[in-house]
Each structure stands twice: as C-alpha cells, then as structure tokens.
C-alpha cells in the first residue's frame, strides 16, 4: 500500500546516501546531490556553566557558639550573596527550566513588509503560524578615549521618529542629521538624482558625503540597513528603505519572528500542501536525480526509485 501511494508524483519537493543499484533504465543516468547534512557530522555540544549550582563557602553556617546579632546580620548578607551566585545558572537548573525558553538554532527574522510576509498572507499560510514582534534593535558601540577604544556597550538603535528624539545616545545635532537622512531614504526612489552618482560606490562613502557622523554611519549600516562595508549605495538605500517601510505595520519595530522557531515555516507550507492533497515523505533524503537526455525522470532515495513530471529543489543542491 505504501508503494502505491509514493511511487508516482506530479511534483516532488526535495529536501539527500549509497549509489542505487538496478534502478536505472536504458539511457538514464544519475546526478548526485550535495549532502547538506554531512556538514554537521560529528557535532558535539559543550556546557559552559557548571553541572551543579556553586554555593559559595560564605553561605556555610558559622562555627557554633559566640554568635552575636551582628554576626547574624553579616551571615544574612552572605546568604544573599550566595543566592545571587546560585542564580547565575547551571546545567541542572537550565535543564529543569527547559520548557520556559526556546533557542532557535537557525533564527530567521522577517521584515513586516518583506516578500516572504507578503507570500504568507497571499497564500494563507500565515494562519498556521504564530508570530511575535521584535521590540528592540540593539548594536554594540565602542567608547573612544583619546582615539583608543576603552570598552563599549549595547545601545538601543533609534530608528523611528519617536526613538530619534527620545534617545540619549546621540547629540541633538546628530538627531537632526539622522532624521533628515531617514526621511530621504524613505523617498529615495523619487529622489534618485541625488544619489545616482554614488549608485555603484560604497554605501559608506555616500553616507560620509551626507555629513553623517561615524556613530550615525554605524547605526545605519549595522543596525538599520544591515549591510556590510562592500555594499554599494543602491543596495544600502534599498535595504534601509525596506526597514523604514516595515516600521509600524505590526508593532513599533519592523521585524517579526516565528514564535516556536524557524521550523514552523516549512511545517506551515506542509499543512497547506496537505489541504490541496499534496503528499510529503518525512525523514527521507533525496540522494540522486535520474536524468535521461537532459530531462528529469525521477529521484533515487534509500535504494528506491520515485518518478514524477516536475522537480522543485534548492538551486544550491
């Protein structure tokens, strides 16, 4: 019964081991796919917190006899110190609280007006996924002392009008410069003549031409536009504009993330596929594509052959 259900598909959606024997017909050949899972072979994890809570020796009971009221006060303060150290974390405490937090090993944040969010809405896949809005964007700012970095701190990036005028991490002059530049980016397509000469030049060079300070340039490139130093001006303005256009759609920040991790996204599309009578084969990798005269004939997986008319796959494979 299983073979009848899975032997023929109109569309095969991929997700990739020994070379199949006896599966090829005359004139057919195999095209091996890359093995993305092999990149993670032999991975080990290591805890960077102690196995058990480390209780300071200061929390131990004092020697019996001779204790006074002042000794009790000192002992009480030491117990508080010990509790603070105890709450720093351990493997045991984290495992016991593992249902209170979620760590996404492949985080994916979405722009509120990005292409993927628009696809989720138009395809109704969004109804299968729960989202949260990111509430703050932070960046690391080095503190300079005589030209030498003396440390740094995380600061909230001012990216909306209200943030710009309430923040204390930039001066009043910088606030005006930043606000003026963000308004320019919002309508940069209508003012193309102002940046056309810098289109293929580094974005940082264009920012410097707008008299922006190094701190503002850092905010724009690292936290708002999110581009590297090699990005050109056209790319930088486009990404900055996407950030600004996404503000306020679902919250004060432009980013959304799936409440239960990035794995919710393929699961949601899988559910929609099932609504339209699609079939998914879980826990089965695709190892080879079967080709005849340059045309797709089927796939080989775990010693079995599956035929189909179309193949949808990641171009990186």
Model pLDDT, residue 143? 67
Q: Is residue 88 pLDDT above 80, yes or no?
A: no
What are the chain's domains?
A: 159-248 (1.10.405.10), 284-312 (no CATH)
Report which of 256, 300, 303 is spatially closest to residue 14, judged by C-alpha positions.
300
DSSP string, 55-87: --GGGSPPPSSS--HHHHHHHHHHHHHHHHHHT
Model pLDDT, residue 207? 94
Distance CA 304, CA 178 (A): 60
**What is the largest distance, in Å, between two alpha-carbon atoms of the chain?**
97
Task: Please count the other Cβ atoms lying within 10 Å of the Cβ belonging to residue 106.
Answer: 7
Distance CA 308, CA 304 (A): 13
Q: Is residue 10 pLDDT above 80, yes or no?
A: no
Report which of 10, 4, 5, 29 is spatially closest to residue 309, judged by C-alpha positions.
10
Average pLDDT over residues 65-71: 47
Percent of the chain beyond pLDDT 70? 75
Strands 8-13 and 304-312: parallel
Query: Greater confidence, 43 or 181?
Result: 181
Distance CA 104, CA 190 (A): 39
Q: What is the pTM assigned to this prediction? A: 0.64
Model pLDDT, residue 308? 83
Helices (H), the chain: 2-6, 69-86, 91-96, 115-122, 161-166, 172-186, 203-209, 214-218, 233-246, 264-275
Using one digit for the tens of pLDDT, what is the confidence trace for 229-251?
789 999 999 999 999 999 989 98
Confidence of residue 210 (pLDDT cuts 50, 70, 90): very high
């Amino acid at each position: 019964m299983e073979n009848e259900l899975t032997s023929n598909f109109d569309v095969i959606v991929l997700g990739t081991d020994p070379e199949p024997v006896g599966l090829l017909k005359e004139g057919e050949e195999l095209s091996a796919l890359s093995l993305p899972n092999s990149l993670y072979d032999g991975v080990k994890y290591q805890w960077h917190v102690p196995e058990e809570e480390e209780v300071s020796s200061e929390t131990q009971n004092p020697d019996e006899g001779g204790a006074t009221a002042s000794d009790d006060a000192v002992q009480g303060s030491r117990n508080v110190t010990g509790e603070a150290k105890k709450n720093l974390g351990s493997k045991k405490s984290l495992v016991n609280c593992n249902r209170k937090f979620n760590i996404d090993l492949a985080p994916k944040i979405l722009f509120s007006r990005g292409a993927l969010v628009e696809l989720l809405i138009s395809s109704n896949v969004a109804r299968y996924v729960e989202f949260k809005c990111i509430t703050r964007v932070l960046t690391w700012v080095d503190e300079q002392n005589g030209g030498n970095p003396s440390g740094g701190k995380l600061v909230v990036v001012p990216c909306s009008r209200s943030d710009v005028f309430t923040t204390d991490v930039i001066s009043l002059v910088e606030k005006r410069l930043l606000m003026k530049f963000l308004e320019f980016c919002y309508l940069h397509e209508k003012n193309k003549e102002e940046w056309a000469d810098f289109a293929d030049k580094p974005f940082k060079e264009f920012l410097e031409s707008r008299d922006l300070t190094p701190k503002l340039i850092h905010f724009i490139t690292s936290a708002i536009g999110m581009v590297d130093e090699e990005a050109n001006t056209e790319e930088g303005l486009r990404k900055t504009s996407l950030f600004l256009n996404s503000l306020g759609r679902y919250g004060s920040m432009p980013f959304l993330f799936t409440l239960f991790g990035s794995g919710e996204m393929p699961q949601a599309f899988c559910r929609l596929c099932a609504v339209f009578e699609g079939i998914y084969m879980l826990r089965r990798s695709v190892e080879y594509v079967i080709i005849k005269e340059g045309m797709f004939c089927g796939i080989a997986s775990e010693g079995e052959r599956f035929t189909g008319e179309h193949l949808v796959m990641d171009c990186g494979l």
